[in-house]
Amino acid sequence: MKPLVVGVTGLAAGLGLQCYMLKRLPELYRIKWLCDLDDEKIKRGVADYGGTGTRKFDDLLCDPEVDLVTIATPVTTHAALAKKALAAGKHVLLEKPITATVAEADELIALSKNSTGVLCIGHQRRFMANQKVAQEAVNSGELGRILSVRLDLPTMGVRGSDQPVDPATWARRFMITSGYDYLVHHVDQVCRLLKEKPRQIYGRYGTLAGNDLPCEMEISLVMPSGVLASVNVRHTHAPDPKWQIDGDKGTLRMLFANDMGSCFLYQRQPDGAVKVREIQRPHLKDTVDAETGAWRPKKDGEVYGYTDQDAHREFYQHLYVAIARRGPVPASPEDARDAIQVIWLAIESARVGQVVNWS
């Protein structure tokens, strides 16, 4: 099968991740356009990844050869650009968070259902080693009935903290902090792990002196199954555990790293002793066949230790299969919409000081 022709929009994030991965899958993707408002980014992108540079988004949409448009622009522009691309019949990979508001996400999802193009959201962390290991621990039954899940994100500083405190601009400034742009990954990971959306949400956040944006944020979720989950951004100078999953038969604890640090499974034995086993990184054993566009087992020489780049690679392989064979996308807009709804409900909960119900 021929590679998908791609137009990349937004080169701040697009150059560092999207172009990087697309270039490494030449059998699946070919970059034709690089679009941005910054001429220097365009020049650097064309030099590194090829294609034609432009400041006009319509150049991508009017090109009949373009199959896929990727959008990695500020979140406040996501809805308008994605709508335009879908209306032009293009497939769209939209960077997370899906949109600035839940209402915008709902409108975009409705439009995508009537478009010939597919809409996928960039929740690549679903495919990272930490998610795979956590999912396997839950699915295997080694932890027993899941009681609680905790996912932490250590972070430093608050993006947007140099802007003046102003209630009128709070929401817009919040959207560029880790509390929205990055925490949305963690919410999506927990919901995917447990295969359910929360029934109740409680949020709280703290700020640094002289600033009104969250530097720490805790979101507590009560799931329909009874599992208690928490997703947290922490202003810390030392790494915290990234995952901790407690069941009635065992606990999984994974220390923080860019993707997966040291990971241990603790299980209580009948005699009361605790058995500890270290969990290793998984291996990606399948790949996409460039001729058929379908998954196939890797050959012996293709299997190697899993890294964070493999997670992104696997995401783009799933996206190719979804487009080429009209299968499910690796991250649906509906799931991405639910992730931002959790965050906005947590903000509402923090402001009123009460638990809010999922709606």
Fold of the domain spanning 127-285+340-357: Dihydrodipicolinate Reductase; domain 2 (3.30.360)
- Give me the residues paired with residue 269 across strands: none
- Give the β-pairing of 200-207 and 356-357: antiparallel
Which CATH number is associated with domain 1-122? 3.40.50.720
- Alpha carbons 135 and 180: distance in angstroms, whole number: 24
Q: What is the pLDDT of residue 66?
A: 98
Closest CA to 8 of 62, 45, 47: 45
Looking at residue 242, what is its pLDDT?
A: 84
Bond prior to 97 in cis (omega within 30° of 0): yes
Nearest to 148 by CA among 192, 204, 190: 190
* The Cα angle at residue 3 between residues 298 and 17, in degrees rounded to 5: 80
Which pLDDT does position 16 carry in this prediction? 75
With the CA atoms of 64, 57, 12 and 82 taken in that order, what torsion angle do they form, in degrees rounded to the nearest 10?
A: -80
333 φ, ψ (degrees, to nearest 5): -65, -30
CA dist., res. 348 & res. 49, Å (int): 43
Q: Residue 308's closest CA among 136, 154, 124?
A: 124
- What tokens were used for 84? 């335009």
Q: How far from the centroid of its chain's Cα atoms is residue 70's Cα?
A: 15
Beta bridge pairs of residue 152:
232
Residues 86, 119 contacting (CB under 8 angstroms): yes
Angle between helices 183-194 and 129-140 (to 10 degrees): 20
For CATH 3.40.50.720, list the domain ranges present in the chain: 1-122
**Residue range(s) in the chain whose domain bears CATH number 3.30.360.10:** 127-285+340-357
Per-residue pLDDT of the chain (359 residues; tens, 9 = 90+): 799 999 999 998 767 788 999 999 999 999 999 999 999 999 999 999 999 999 999 999 999 999 999 999 999 999 999 999 999 999 999 999 999 999 999 999 999 999 999 999 999 999 988 899 999 999 999 999 999 999 988 775 566 566 677 788 888 888 877 678 888 999 999 999 999 999 999 999 988 777 888 888 999 999 999 999 999 888 777 766 689 999 999 999 998 655 777 899 999 888 989 999 999 877 777 777 767 777 788 776 665 556 667 888 899 999 999 999 888 999 999 999 999 999 999 999 999 999 999 97
Q: What is the pLDDT of residue 258?
A: 58
Position 300 scores a pLDDT of 67
The shares of helix, strand and coil residues in the chain, as percent rounded to the nearest 5, are 35, 25, 35
